[in-house]
Chain A
Amino acid sequence: MEPQSKAEDMLAENGNAHSASAWIQEHLPRGVWRSVFREDRLFLILSVFIGVFSGLAVVCFRFAIDWSRLYLLGTGAVLTPVRMLLAPTLAGLVIAVLVIHFFPTARGSGVNQTKAALYIFNGNIPIRTAIGKFITSALAIGSGHSLGPEDPSLQIGACIASAVGRKLRLQRDRMRLIAPVGAAAGLAAAFNAPISAVLFVIEEVIGRWTAGILGSVVLSAVSSVVVMRWFLGSESLFRIPAVELKRPTELIAYAALGVVGGLASVVFASGIAWLRPVCKALPRWSQYFQPAAAGLLIGVIAVLGAPQVMGAGYEYIDQAMHGQFTWQFLAILAGLKIVATLLSFVSGTPGGMFAPTLFIGAMLGAAVGGAEHVLFPHLTGSPGTYALVGMGVLFAGFLRAPMTSVFMVLEVSGNYSIIVPVILANTVAYLISRGLQPTAIFDLLTRQDGLELPSMEEQREEDILRVEDAMQPVEGPVLDAEKTLDQAMQALDHLECEHLLVRMTPSGWASITRQQLLKMASEGKGATSLGSLLPILQVPFLHPDHPLETALRYVDRWPLVPVVSRADFRQLEGVVTQRHVLERYREFGEG
């Protein structure tokens, strides 16, 4: 009989779960027991499955967008005015009905919903959300709404991951983390950029780096990209022009781009912050018409001469990179795209903001580059270089993902020489955006929706208390373990302190109370060394830079916790006590 069925029989016979468990532990080989019960291994394998499923879903999503575009807007490179007006308007009506009646959770970009799954719903996202997102986003983007496929792909990936986790009844902590794993897979496949996807999910969704989760996120992202490339090829979203920085003085030009990009990010984010609540406050019946109205206005913009604002617009980013527009027209396109995206997004049309952000950034970058070339003809950077840097600038300024923005440009361009202008311009844009718009766009949206999800940006910049903030100088003498009890008593002669620290040999610390010393002295152990009298269990020590919460683990058990130098563990820097730690926290809370 197999071991597990024996165990089951046992349980069935006497209902004694404990004895069955004990039997399993006793009889099953230890390696099998471990490997079966270790969820982290299972989680890694699952990550590959999630990556594959997400990759396949994203490929289908791309096909759906494509077919939607073909049938709604036509096959030509030049769209007819009738289609430009009717397609987004009628699609808007259908989308509104679908979102209101069938897929209410498909609204929005998808990033915050994934964060909500992580922090509120224990990783649970209904599969219906993915279906709704798939259909409505494909319809919206294909019909010309100014939205992108990346954020929906991210959410579709998260939904798939959540469904897989539910089927396998993962533990709660694993379930929570599985949605970001799927999100990374979805985003990586949509972007064809696994590093950026991993960074974005870590930077914006999870907010922390741990080896376990990083492995899963990377595996899922790589798997999904492999699947996506299998079907759609490995070509970049746009043809990357030759990029080089000949003179360091040209960095000033890129810094100027950072300033313009930062301001544009603020305008874009402020527009959403102002208009979204206004649209949400309108009567319920108006929600049936908001996406259609947004679609109609976008159609009007297109008919008036800027059809480039329709859809994700990657082909126009490519054209901007290759100098196919004048800088004036590029600037106009950037402005119109902000308006079009604002309309699409605040109307509740499902779709992402990544592609529009890249579009605006590319247009703005190429426009600034073109204008700078007119003013300073000796500049060597091509419009394509500025467009590429511009994409990163808006990513950093609007989405507030500075790390991702840098790596995204590097990954998309495949050119390391652009790193200095990108870092400079992105940092400038990020600082301006953060200075003028303190709340990041994703946090703003969650707060508008009445949720309080952790803000990764706020967390990154939160002041944290360290041990050195609560550390106090040592009041009494520090005894050495080689000293005898009598010598220790002499040192204590005129002092009032109750607790004493003992420096052990060759390393480590112990503590002893005055009462214990007196008791041992009365027992006639005066000539014995302290080291041999003290208990084996030593006092844990801390370093000044440790977070103060680390001290909380020890201060209730040890009245005096030594704080020692990292260079020399025997060198005492100070001590922390429970009272001082709590006082410090109280002061911090009072501001």
Chain B
Amino acid sequence: MDAQEAEMASQAYARYRFYLRQRPIMMAVFSVLAVLLFLGVTVLSRAHQAQRQAIAERWFNRGIADLNAKHFDAAAIDFRAALLYSPDEYSYQLNLAEALIGKGHTGQAFAYLTNLWDREPENGIVNLELARIAAQRGETDNAIRYYHNAVYAVWPSNQEGMRRNARLELIELLLRNHLKAQAQSELIPLAENAGPDPVQQERIADLFLRAEDYEHALGAYNAALKSDRHHAAALAGAGYAAFELGRYQLAQHYLQSAISANPNDPESAERLRTAQLVLHLDPFRRQIPAAERNRIVMEAFAAAGQRLRSCALPTVKASAPASVPSPGDEWARLKPQITEAGLRRNPDLADTAMDLVFRIERETSTVCGTPTGTDLALLLISRIHEGS
């Protein structure tokens, strides 16, 4: 055996001895050390966490105070500071978003809210705020989606009330965007779940009115009037709904009561006047004497002639059939016959005259816009008898 081999063997043995004796011990030491360090860092971590939590809460409370005082700038700074120490705290982010909305920084608020939405898509407040921002930005589809989420969302308290408010905001949005059919479909469940509160009923009725669902509007106003029969606004609304439904008798009743309750209501007064005119100028209403009817026909015929003179209808197109005379020609042709005697002699002439009156009012309203006074009343009467 040469020296080199002996040296190598010696080294190998030394290493072997170290491995067998020292390494297991070292491994055990490392394991114990790892456990001890882990425990030590756990203690440190808890202290660190507690300190951060305390700082975060301090800033958050300050932010809430600023938010309540409408100091949105300061509130945003406070909530940002709180989030430095507790970045995932939901309520901090939500309040920061609200402070940012208050500041008018909707873009930043939207980013925070979107992040919150990703975490809790069922949260009502987040959905409502997102809906409001989307509505502000003109993103109607997104706004509707978020409002719908808010309507069916989980709310921390007063769940029914918050859902109702969210739905009301949604309806307002739909109405602003002329989506009346959708608005009506949202209003119906809202009305069904609404309590007897007259204020609420009146608000729902107003919305039905704006959505042009007059039947439901009338029902809601009636419900509102149950607790206060002299509520001027509700009476005016009910009158309006009845008027639009063509129930002029009922409209007259409500509108008269509305004006009695609130004499300074020019719209209701105007509507009442029109309703009364409709009731007065309708020659086809039941149980009126023939003389009275003939007088109404002559008055209506004269008003139509006046309307023709003030609103020039376009000349008949060349393509129109020659057998259809113009309203002006027709009116001029009938004029000599529309006398008391003429109408008495030929009762059918009243129908012919009124058909012409209705035709003139309809055609002139398309050319010159909705008329007022007698012409409007005649136009409305024409709608009552349309198709009859």
Partner of B88 from A7, A8, A227, A235 at Cβ < 8 Å? A235
Across the A-B interface, how many residue pairs have beta carbons closer than 8 Å? 104
Whether the Cβ atoms of B55 and A322 lie closer than 8 Å is no
Stretch binding the partner chain, chosen from A14-22, A107-115, A117-125: A14-22
Answer whether residue B115 sits at the interface, using C-beta atoms and an 8 A cutoff.
yes
A35-B39 Cα distance, complex, nearest whole Å: 32
Partner of B84 from A22, A49, A77, A324 at Cβ < 8 Å? A77
CB distance from B103 to the nearest CB of A (A): 12
With A56-B37, A75-B59 known as contacts, the answer to whether A63 contacts B13 (CB < 8 A) is no
Whether the Cβ atoms of A56 and B18 lie closer than 8 Å is no
A-chain residues with CB within 8 Å of residue B81 when the two chains form the complex? 75-78
Whether the Cβ atoms of A322 and B44 lie closer than 8 Å is no
Interface residues of A in 18-39 (CB under 8 A from B): 18, 20-22, 24, 36-37
Whether the Cβ atoms of A78 and B13 lie closer than 8 Å is no
Stretch binding the partner chain, chosen from A89-97, A142-150, A162-170: A162-170
The SS class assigned to the B binding surface is helix
CB distance from B50 to the nearest CB of A (A): 12
With A4-B17, A78-B77 known as contacts, the answer to whether A52 contacts B34 (CB < 8 A) is yes
A-chain residues with CB within 8 Å of residue B22 when the two chains form the complex? 168-169
Whether the Cβ atoms of A11 and B26 lie closer than 8 Å is no
A63-B83 Cα distance, complex, nearest whole Å: 17
Answer whether residue B20 sits at the interface, using C-beta atoms and an 8 A cutoff.
yes
B-chain residues with CB within 8 Å of residue A486 when the two chains form the complex? none
CB distance from B90 to the nearest CB of A (A): 13
Whether the Cβ atoms of B59 and A7 lie closer than 8 Å is no
Partner of A53 from B16, B34, B55, B80 at Cβ < 8 Å? B34
Partner of A76 from B6, B10, B27, B77 at Cβ < 8 Å? B77
CB-defined interface of A41-59 with B at 8 Å, one 1/0 digit per residue? Answer: 0100100010011001001
Answer whether residue A315 sits at the interface, using C-beta atoms and an 8 A cutoff.
yes
Closest to A23 in B: B13
CB distance from A207 to the nearest CB of B (A): 29
Answer whether residue A239 sits at the interface, using C-beta atoms and an 8 A cutoff.
yes
Name the interface size band of chain A.
35 or more
Interface residues of B in 1-37 (CB under 8 A from A): 1, 5-6, 9-10, 12-13, 15-23, 26-27, 30-31, 33-34, 37
Whether the Cβ atoms of B13 and A11 lie closer than 8 Å is yes
Answer whether residue A526 sits at the interface, using C-beta atoms and an 8 A cutoff.
no
A-chain residues with CB within 8 Å of residue B108 when the two chains form the complex? 322-324
Answer whether residue B107 sits at the interface, using C-beta atoms and an 8 A cutoff.
yes
CB distance from B48 to the nearest CB of A (A): 5
A239-B107 Cα distance, complex, nearest whole Å: 16
Closest to B58 in A: A75
CB distance from B247 to the nearest CB of A (A): 53
Answer whether residue B41 sits at the interface, using C-beta atoms and an 8 A cutoff.
yes
CB distance from B193 to the nearest CB of A (A): 36
Answer whether residue A489 sits at the interface, using C-beta atoms and an 8 A cutoff.
no
Answer whether residue A582 sits at the interface, using C-beta atoms and an 8 A cutoff.
no
A324-B87 Cα distance, complex, nearest whole Å: 16
Whether the Cβ atoms of A315 and B9 lie closer than 8 Å is no
Whether the Cβ atoms of B19 and A63 lie closer than 8 Å is no
With A77-B81, A322-B108, A323-B111 known as contacts, the answer to whether A7 contacts B26 (CB < 8 A) is no
CB distance from B71 to the nearest CB of A (A): 14
Partner of A49 from B19, B21, B34 at Cβ < 8 Å? B34
A49-B42 Cα distance, complex, nearest whole Å: 18
Interface residues of B in 49-102 (CB under 8 A from A): 51-52, 55, 58-59, 77-78, 80-81, 83-85, 87-88
Whether the Cβ atoms of A21 and B13 lie closer than 8 Å is yes
Whether the Cβ atoms of A49 and B9 lie closer than 8 Å is no
CB distance from B70 to the nearest CB of A (A): 19
Closest to B76 in A: A77
With A17-B9, A18-B5, A20-B13 known as contacts, the answer to whether A53 contacts B37 (CB < 8 A) is yes
Answer whether residue A66 sits at the interface, using C-beta atoms and an 8 A cutoff.
yes
Interface residues of B in 100-122 (CB under 8 A from A): 107-108, 111-112, 115
CB distance from B93 to the nearest CB of A (A): 10
B-chain residues with CB within 8 Å of residue A53 when the two chains form the complex? 33-34, 37
B-chain residues with CB within 8 Å of residue A324 when the two chains form the complex? 107-108, 111
Answer whether residue A252 sits at the interface, using C-beta atoms and an 8 A cutoff.
no
Answer whether residue B45 sits at the interface, using C-beta atoms and an 8 A cutoff.
yes
Whether the Cβ atoms of B34 and A231 lie closer than 8 Å is no
Whether the Cβ atoms of B13 and A7 lie closer than 8 Å is yes
A52-B30 Cα distance, complex, nearest whole Å: 10
A168-B30 Cα distance, complex, nearest whole Å: 11
CB distance from B21 to the nearest CB of A (A): 8
CB distance from B120 to the nearest CB of A (A): 15
CB distance from B112 to the nearest CB of A (A): 8
A-chain residues with CB within 8 Å of residue B59 when the two chains form the complex? 75-77
Partner of B41 from A4, A59, A78 at Cβ < 8 Å? A59
CB distance from A230 to the nearest CB of B (A): 9
With A36-B19, A63-B48, A78-B77 known as contacts, the answer to whether A21 contacts B41 (CB < 8 A) is no
Partner of A63 from B15, B45, B87, B111 at Cβ < 8 Å? B45
B-chain residues with CB within 8 Å of residue A45 when the two chains form the complex? 27
Whether the Cβ atoms of A322 and B23 lie closer than 8 Å is no
Whether the Cβ atoms of B84 and A18 lie closer than 8 Å is no
A402-B241 Cα distance, complex, nearest whole Å: 72
A380-B111 Cα distance, complex, nearest whole Å: 16
A-chain residues with CB within 8 Å of residue B58 when the two chains form the complex? 75
Whether the Cβ atoms of A66 and B48 lie closer than 8 Å is yes
With A53-B37, A322-B108 known as contacts, the answer to whether A231 contacts B18 (CB < 8 A) is no
A77-B41 Cα distance, complex, nearest whole Å: 27
Whether the Cβ atoms of A56 and B41 lie closer than 8 Å is yes
A-chain residues with CB within 8 Å of residue B5 when the two chains form the complex? 18
CB distance from A329 to the nearest CB of B (A): 14
Answer whether residue A451 sits at the interface, using C-beta atoms and an 8 A cutoff.
no
A7-B20 Cα distance, complex, nearest whole Å: 12
Answer whether residue A464 sits at the interface, using C-beta atoms and an 8 A cutoff.
no
A8-B18 Cα distance, complex, nearest whole Å: 12
Closest to A19 in B: B9
Interface residues of A in 237-272 (CB under 8 A from B): 239, 241
CB distance from B2 to the nearest CB of A (A): 10
CB distance from B219 to the nearest CB of A (A): 45
Q: Please give the residue numbers on chain A whose beta carbons come within 8 Å of chain B beta carbons, in ascending order.
A: 4, 7-8, 11, 17-18, 20-22, 24, 36-37, 42, 45, 49, 52-53, 56, 59-60, 63, 66-67, 70, 75-78, 164, 167-169, 227, 231, 233, 235, 239, 241, 315, 322-324
**What are 22 contact pairs spanning A and B, CB under 8 A?**
A36-B20, A37-B19, A49-B30, A49-B31, A52-B34, A53-B33, A53-B37, A59-B45, A60-B41, A63-B48, A70-B51, A70-B55, A75-B85, A76-B81, A77-B80, A169-B18, A169-B22, A235-B87, A239-B115, A241-B111, A315-B84, A322-B115
Q: Please give the residue numbers on chain B whose beta carbons come within 8 Å of chain A beta carbons, in ascending order.
A: 1, 5-6, 9-10, 12-13, 15-23, 26-27, 30-31, 33-34, 37-38, 41-42, 44-45, 48, 51-52, 55, 58-59, 77-78, 80-81, 83-85, 87-88, 107-108, 111-112, 115
User: Can you list the 9 inter-chain pairs with the closest CB atoms, starting with the nearest?
Assistant: A17-B10, A322-B111, A77-B81, A18-B9, A77-B80, A21-B9, A17-B9, A231-B45, A49-B30
